[in-house]
Every structure is written in C-alpha cells, then in structure tokens.
Structure 1
C-alpha cells in the first residue's frame, strides 16, 4: 500500500526524484555516494572515474569530500576526474576559470594526482578543438566510462553547457552560450559583456554513458526549470528533459527547488491531502484562476471536475467554501498599512493602536524601498506615522564607472568656480581615470572609488526618502560592513552588522518593521540583510520590552510577488500614488535606463515595479474583488 501511495504521489514525475530538507543534508548524501564508489573501487584495486560539475550547486559536496579526506582518511589516489565544461577562451589561472574553481573548492585540498585531473582546455586554438574533444571522449571510454556524473541545471535547462537545441546524442564540443546563461554569469565577470560567448562542454550523449547520473538543484530560482525537466515533455528546448531517457539518473533537490513539482505545489492533484486552511485558500485561488471564474461563481461541479472532489465533500458545499475564502482575501486589503486608528481591527491585517506608530523600513539596497513598496512608504508617511528608513548597504557595486568621473568633474569645476581648488579632487580624478583604463572584469574598486560610488547612491536614496516625506533625521544610511568585506572574502563575520542594526532598532523602538523577503538566493544581499535584521530582533526580544509589540512585515522585490494565497496585507494604490511612487524611483538616477546589474529583465526598475503591482491588482480582480490600479503585498513574519 505504501508503494502504491508513493507511485500516486509521484505520478507526474518522469524521473526519480529525492527531496531533502536542505542542501546541506543533500550534499552530504551525494558526497557519501561518491566516497562509497571510491572505497569500493579501492577494495578491488580499481580506478574510480568521477564526472564533476562547477558552479554554486556542488560546492558543499566538495566541502564534505574534503572533510572526509582530512578527518576520515578518504584517499583520492585511485581517482580520475573529468569536468563537464569550461568557458572558451579561458586561461586556467583566471578567477572565473573552472580550473581555478576546482582547485579552490576541491583539488588543492585532497590527494588526487594532478595528472588524473581532466578539465576542458580553454586556451586551445579553435582549429585544434575538434581533435581535442574527440580525444577527451576517447580517454573517458578507455577508462570504462564515468562511474558517477554530477550535474547542475541552468535556468535555460542546460546540463553542462548543452544549451537549448542540443541533440541527445551530442558529444564533447565547442558551443555558443545562451544569452540567459551569460546573464546569470555576469556577476562573476563584472558584466555580461565580459562573459565569454562560447564554452567547451561534454555532450548529452557523453553524460548518458555515465553509470550513475546525479542532478542537483537548490533554492527557488531553480524550481521552475526543475519542474519542466522532471514533469515536462522531452524537448530540445530544455536539454535536461533528455535525462528522462536514462535509467541511471536521479534528481537530488532541496525543498525549495522541488517546490513547484505537482506533489508539493498542487498536492491535491497527486494524492489525498489533509485540508488545512492555508491549503484550502491556495486550492480555491488556483481553481478560480484556472477556470477564469470569480471565486463566488465556483460550483460543486467545478471542484469535482478539477481534482478537488475531496475538498468539496469534506468542507462543502462549494458556496460555503467560496464565501470563506472570498472574505479572507477581502480582509487582506487595507488602505491603512499602519493600522486605522479608532476602528475595530478584528478583520484588518494591522492593529488599530497605537494610532501613530514608530515604523522602520529596511532597504537592502538604496532603492529597494521605493521600488518594492514605494506606495505603502508614501501612505505611511502621509498618514502621520513616525517613519524611518534604513539603507542597509551602500550599493556601490551597482554604479557605473563613468558616473564616478562625472561627479568628480562636477566637484572640480565647482572648486574652480569658488576659488577653492586645492588639487585633491584633481588627484583623485586622475587616479580614478587611470584605474578605469586598465580595470579588469570584476576587479574590486579601490576604497576611494567605492566611497564615491556609495556617496552617489546615498544622495539618491536621501532624495527619494525626502520626496516620500521623511525628515533627514529619519533617514539612516547604514552602509553595513559585510557588503564591502564580502568583496575580499566569503568568510565574513556579521557581528558588527548585527550590533549596528540593534542600536538603530533600540533608538527607534518600532511597532512595525518592513524588510525585504526575497530569499530565493541564499547568498544574495537581500537574504544576508534579512538574516542580520532577524538576529538583531531575536537578541533584542530577550531584553527589550518594546519587541513584544513589534510586527515584522516582509515585502518582495521588483521581479516576483508573493502568491495570492500567502498575502496577508494588500495595500491598494490609486493612479496618483503610482505616479508618486514612480517619481520617487526616478530619484535613483544611477539605476535608471540600464543599471549595472539589470538581471534577466530588460525593463527599467520602475516599469518592473509598476507591472508587478498592477498584475497583483489584476489577480485580485479576477478572483472577484475590487478593481484597483495597483496593489503592494506583504506577508507577516511570525517569530517562534
């Protein structure tokens, strides 16, 4: 019976999938698999042949293998490795090369013989590549094939660098990289324009020859492509779907990467469920949007014909379910994000009292405040709350070099105009100009240039906050130390960041805290900033009485909104408020037009922000609620 239930639960999945609570547990398991293969081969006096991947995904696997070597004596002397790919052209000692990556994360810390390491050569002349690739394939074959092949998955669905259009029988070769792949790599290279357009990669056919294939994926960023690879039709548009043809593959996922698989995302379609309030709301919203019918128009037949007969049988009739969910969604909508004083707040997302709240909005970058929740920011200030804003990082990385020269030229000209030219600005200007001439991709700027870039963003942030209506004393440019420290080392302490945040919180004693809730990238600035804030609040909760009456609200960035069923406060904006929000965003001139790191989306930040909030309003309207110009959404973080 248990086997039947498992088959029913995974019936949408076309490959074996194992889901772990987190990537740490998954990585340890994969590392142990590799270690067992090595030990089994050692016992037989044989060589273990490993196919290795690069990127963030396998880093913790390699870390565990290093630990097994140093602490438990696992030897790699009988191991031969073949890496999947390498950028082309690429020097092996370049910071972005996969040779550098593998040495840093694995090879420099274990006893694998150097002559047993095989990584595609990114320095070859192009006319020598074909023969080299054939020899690479032959070397793998002569060794009897790869025993275990590690894979990640790119957001194009590529495995290795087998981009959309790759054939299932393709071999090792030179390929042209997809634009999305290059955009994803842009931070490592200091901009997409510096990312190589080509790469050497094992082919899909080469990967298929491995005796065991393990594809790993972590975090929400990979959830959409994982679903397509696991549940979608086999297509050259998504090369990872070819893995469905292999009998030796397993997908290893954390819960976030697996979150869009049907058994987790729409579990009522895969198996019987326990209908919690949250799951009911999610299911009803899904049904309404799927059928294009307002919630109050859904019928028993709609539930029965769309995999939700169990719900209508247990909790029905449909009308009762519809009314309940409609009212819950209606109660999330409020024009008073700080609470409406003097009214019954039983069905309102925020407390009515105190009528004038101390509010602090934490903005990871100097423009996240107005981009992500600018309308609510304006509303809170207009409604008389004591609103503060804290810009957690300087954002200096995202300023164009020529903006530095432009501002320095202004300072020079001003100094001349007022007869106060002491030559300091000219010296800095000339040094900056010379540095930019020879600056390498992703090279860290000198401290003086980082300071100038930070001041540019600080001025823009202050201008935006003043436009919202904040007095200067309520504008805090934290410039947390981790942001610049992380440019030189990934082993960063956050204690001084936490202490600085605690001091600000103790000064304001907020009733409301707003913070960025974008956690898809666990190493991204938003997640780090939230972790610092959360730890500061956690510590203060043990000593400070005001924390008992402090609510933490999370907002999302310009790209993705919270799903409707998760939203706990929806703040509608009028056309006039949308325009005011746009003007506040415009104060961030260095981020307009083409920002340094635009991400996947070619739209300007203000356009993304407006489209996101108008789409949220449209979804509410499709569900049968009022038709607003825009809606900004929030989720309340409950402390354990």
Structure 2
C-alpha cells in the first residue's frame, strides 16, 4: 500500500491531503488548530497562531467559532498574528482585514483583544520599516508560530509575497501584482479602488512556523496548485518555496487538486481501472499531446506514453480509437432539443416529445446569449416552447454614469413631452448627491439599484426578443439572495428556492439549461445553479414531469468544458455565430468595458466567439468534421 501511494504521488514535492469538499477539509484544519490550543492549555502556555484572510479560511473560522460556542473551546491562551493587510487601509473599512477577522472570528470568541496582531495599514510610510521589524520581534519573543495557515493566490502568492519575493524575506511593504488587484476588484467596487501596496509577513517568517498548512478550494486554484506542488522551485511562483520546508502540508478539496497528475492523468503514475469515461479522457489527452487525430493513434503511441495497460486490456489501439471517435462524434447535434422521428439511441437528446418545453436559466441578464445564444436561437427556430428566466437583476454590473444618463434621458423626454417631471428631478438630484459621496464598493441607494436593474432588464428583453421569444416567455426572478447582498455569510434563502420551484411548476420543462461555469470570479453562477438544482431535486421527489426533466449545463464567458467532458456539441454556422454576436450586442451596458471584467481584457462577445471557435477547432484536430464554431453542454446526472 505504501509503495502504491509513493508511486501515485511521485510528481508531488510536498505532502498533499485531498478531501471530498472544502467544508470537510475546513473542519479538519479547524480541529488541527483546536488540538494545538488544547495542548498548549494543558501545558499552561500560549498557542501562537498565524492566520490568513480571504475566502479560503472562512469555513475554518466558522468551525472554530462553533467549537467555542458548543464545545467550550477557549481562546484565552491564544495569541494571533495575521499574515497581511492592504496599505493604506483604515481598520474600519469594509475591505480591511481587521474587519474581516472581527466579523469571521474575533467577535465571536473569548480571545483577549491585546492578543490580536494584524499589520497596521494606517501608519505613515516612514514608520513601516520599524513597524515590520517590531512585528517580527513580537513573534520571535513568543517562541515563533505554532502553526501558520495559508491560502494561495492565482499568482502563486502566499500572504502578499508576490512573484519575485525572496525565500528569506521578512515582514515588509510590497507592491501588489496586477492579477492580485484584479482578483480583489469586486470587493472594492473596481480595480481602480484596490490599494497598490500591502504589508505582509515574508516567506522567511512563514518558514519559521512549526507547522504550515496551505489550503486551496475550487477549480480556479487548480492550475496554480499544480505549479506549487509539482513545479520547479521558482520566484515566479512563491508558493513553490514551500517545497523546501519539512513542516508543510497542502490541504485541498477535489476541485483544487484536479490538475495534479494523479487525478488529471492517473495513467502516468499508476495502473488504472479503465472505465469508459477514463478511456475517453485518456485517448483525447493522448491525441492532443501528440497532435494527432484519434484514428491515427497507434499501439506504439499508447505504449510510450503511459497507456500500455489500456492497450493491453482493451486494445488493440485502433479498436479503442474507433470507440472513442464514435462517442465523440455522437455528441455533435444540430438538434439540441432532440431530432423528431429519429433514432435517438446515440444522440445526446431524446427525440420525444418532438416539441419540448425548454427553460433557460440565466444568472445575469446576458449569460443566456453569451453562453448559448446560438443554441437558444436554434431551439426557438425548431419550434420548441422556449422560456428564459433571468435569475438576478445584474444591477451591480452597470456603471454609475450610465444610471445617470438614463435618468437624464427621461428628464429630457418628459420635458419635451410636457410631462410634469418634478418628482423625477428630485430623484435625479438625490442620485447625484449619493454618487458624489459614494465609497468604493458601497451598496447603491434603492433609486440607483432600480435604474441599473431597469437598464439590464431592457437589454435582456431586447436580447431575448432577438432570439425569437415573445414577452410572455421572458421571466425576471430577481432572486432575493442577490438583492439582499448585505447577508454575505448565508445569502440563499428558502424564498430563492420557492420562486424557482414556482416557475418550474408553471412551465414543466422537459429541458432545463443552467450555468455550470463555477469559475465565475464572483460566485453568482454557482449560487444560481445550486438554487436550480435544489428546486429540481425537490420536485423530482413528488412530480412525474420533473423526473423526466433533463438538466443541461452551459458555460459562460470565463471557461469552456474540457473536450472529454462535453456531452452535447451544437455546431454554429458563420451566419449563426453572427446572430449570436448580435444578440450579445443588445447588452450595451456590458459592451466595450464591463464593470467587473475579470482578468480577460476581451469584450464578452469576443470571448464567446473565440471560445466557440476554439471548441470547434478542438473537435477538428481530433479528426472530426470542421465547423465554424460550437457551443458545448454537459448533462447533470441526478442521483
């Protein structure tokens, strides 16, 4: 058993533990911390903890709070040192790490306030060197950190030790990488408001901890985790320096571990149980790796690239190639709602009923056309009963000056039409006053939220009409979780699910399309998908139609499914791709430069067009028919 484990992890240069999900992993880490606290209590001494901020440790802190409230874990013997803080940063600011730590941990436990240490984002620039030196001395005077918990940024930073940081660096002022600032833009209301600097513990400081745990959750951390765990030590990825420590452990959920060799290409490190899905993935990988069409792969290709076992058990190679080629070919369909009166045994969708009730859920008012605009139009053209539901208003993604411009238009219009506009002028002036004093990431006033929602609603209606829908097939849910953004810890309520159940019961769809792009940097897609999934799962327990409803996932402007994951690929002609682009253009507030564009500078229509073309090219390179573009879908498997 031990030999197998070594073989399986031979690419990994640090100890790695992988948990099913982030919740289970977070509880494990919290209990590790609690064990240290209790051990130190028994020794009648202090537990010195190095703490991190960001989304990653939130569930760890929640479990520590639960242990305090329900299992009487005391923090009176705990002294904490936080990794970092933005500079400059007022401690009372919503974006400060002081606020974060108080809201997520310190306000809910019995730790003495004097035992809490967080870098000071308010001191004068001239005082920073002495502050940093004193921070180091305080840690050393207590005998060092018993444990340091870390997250990891997409640049590979730990703390705010960005690329170029030295392995022996101490606490200091640093300049933040542009990607780090883009990732923080949503919390600050735009990248322009994100501080350019921060005070951070150094890598050398972190190294002195007796135990180091780096945590990472979600698929969007998978690429940098692979670099940190399997890559060469490099200042370009500061987390790789942890390979030099004997006291480090990476704790990951399955999504964050997805690109590690033992999970992504397990045939390179161990004998595999060759399921149909694994064969499909492996053969596509081999063809792409060798840049050969599937049907041209040989036994020698299999044998020299870690797949000899597959060729021996399931071969010869050509027979395997044929099976994978046919499976991939059968994902391609011009009939996303099923082809009437056709043999559907090898098609991705059922032939019957020939005219289906279809419900497209769109998290934001433009995800439908960005992600599946061509399929949307095709479903309508093929006479299916198509509905679209916009789950949120998307009002946070409208520029402030656009909101004013629309109200100014109404003022001018009412004046031209001799309509009394006194009340509207009052509202407009109130909006102007609010925006003149608006702080970064401050929630808009109700009037501004309404205007921005109406802007996006009008654009969504225009886009859906362009796709061929009548107004009575366009639904605006305005789910409460999005409108009530003050409740950050548990945003989804029963009302969100009830509203979704009601719409599903009204339409009784045979097909549901929902956003499966969980790498959306703001998390709205995942929240919206989980609401749809919960609603369908409840309905499947009691209603017959729901048991026959298929749930198809599409992806938005961020990433596409891997080729081996795709279960339905809908080809688009040049004309259809142009139609899709025109539908996206109806969303004028999102054109040119979106409020929260992520780390991709292309406009949304460009991302969508390029991504669809890339999917078609991927199929073409594997030896299948060449199309202009393709939209891809994966079917959700209900248990």
1:56–1:322 distance in 2 versus 1, CA, 3 Å:
same
TM-score by length of 2: 0.98
Distance change in 2, residues 1:205/1:68 (3 Å) = same
Q: CA deviation at 1:266?
A: 0.6
CA contact (8 A) 2:391 2:478 kept: yes
Structure 2 CA distance, aligned partners of 1:39 and 1:50? Answer: 13
What is the DSSP-based 3-state SS (H/G/I as helix, E as strand, rest coil) of the residue aligned with 1:375? helix
Specify every segment of 5 or more residues in structure 1 that has no aligned partner in the other structure, as ranges.
none
After TM superposition, give the deviation of residue 519 of structure 1 in Å: 2.5
CA distance 1:467–1:552, shift in 2 (3 Å): same
Alignment of 1:405-444 (within 5 A): 405-444=404-443
CA contact (8 A) 2:519 2:559 kept: no
Partner of residue 593, structure 1: 592
Q: Is 1:490 paired with 2:489?
A: yes
Deviation at 1:488, TM superposition (A): 4.5
Query: Structure 1 stretch 42-51 or stretch 562-571: which is displaced more?
Result: 42-51
For residues 54-453 of structure 1, what are the structure 2 equivalents within 5 Å? 54-453=53-452
Task: Tell me the distance in 2 between the aligned counterparts of 1:487 and 1:48.
Answer: 34
How many residues get paired?
Answer: 639
Which runs of 4 or more aligned residues in structure 1 lie more than 2 Å from their structure 2 counterparts after TM superposition? 486-494, 519-523, 542-545
CA distance in structure 2 between the partners assigned to 1:530 and 1:24 by the alignment: 19
SS at match of 1:185: helix
Structure 1 residue 486: Cα displacement: 2.4
After superposition, residues 477-626 of structure 1 pair within 5 angstroms as 477-520=476-519, 524-626=523-625
Residue aligning to 2:631: 632
* Structure 1 residue 114: Cα displacement: 1.3
Note the C-alpha offset of 1:69.
1.7
The Cα offsets for residues 347-385 of structure 1, whole Å up to 9 and x where unpaired, read as 111111222111111101000000000010111111111
User: RMSD across aligned C-alpha pairs, in angstroms?
Assistant: 1.2
Whether the 8 Å CA contact 1:359–1:388 is kept in 2: the answer is yes
SS in 2 for 1:541: helix
Runs of at least 5 residues in structure 2 that lack an aligned partner in the other structure: none
Assess if the C-alpha contact under 8 Å between 2:356 and 2:509 holds in 1: yes
Tell me if the contact between 2:521 and 2:598 (Cα under 8 Å) persists in the aligned partners: no
Deviations 1:520-562 (A, max 9, x none): 4697111111111112212222332222332111101112111
Distance in 2 (CA, whole Å) between partners of 1:102 and 1:421 is 51
Preserved contact between residue 296 and residue 322 of structure 1 (Cα < 8 Å): yes
* Separation in structure 2 between the aligned mates of residue 472 and residue 582 of structure 1, nearest angstrom: 21
Q: 2:512 and 2:490 mapped to 1: Cα distance?
A: 29
Q: Distance in 2 between matches of 1:499 and 1:263?
A: 41
Contact 1:334 1:572 in 2 (8 A): yes
Contact 2:34 2:64 in 1 (8 A): yes
Give the C-alpha shift of residue 487 in structure 1. Answer: 3.3
Separation in structure 1 between the aligned mates of residue 571 and residue 302 of structure 2, nearest angstrom? 30
CA contact (8 A) 1:20 1:253 kept: yes
Determine the C-alpha separation between the residues in 2 that align with 1:357 and 1:36: 57
Q: Deviations over 1:579-608 (max 9, x none)?
A: 000000000000001111101100000000
Cα deviation, 1:422-446, whole Å, max 9, x if unaligned, reads 3121111111111100000111111
Q: Distance in 2 between matches of 1:492 and 1:127?
A: 42
State the alpha-carbon separation in 1 of the partners of residues 243 and 75 from structure 2.
31
Say whether the 8 Å CA contact 1:219–1:521 is kept in structure 2: no
| Separation of aligned partners in 2, 1:23 and 1:493 | 18
Please give the alpha-carbon distance, in whole angstroms, between the structure 2 residues aligned to 1:103 and 1:382. Answer: 55
2:542 partner SS: coil
Indicate conservation of the 8 Å contact 1:559/1:612, yes or no: no
Most deviating of 10-19 and 59-68:
59-68
Give the superposition deviation at 1:39: 1.6
Q: SS of the residue aligned with 1:77?
A: coil
Distance 1:78 1:501 in 2: 48
Residues of 2 paired with 1:56 and 1:173: CA distance?
Answer: 23
* Aligned: 1:25 with 2:11: no
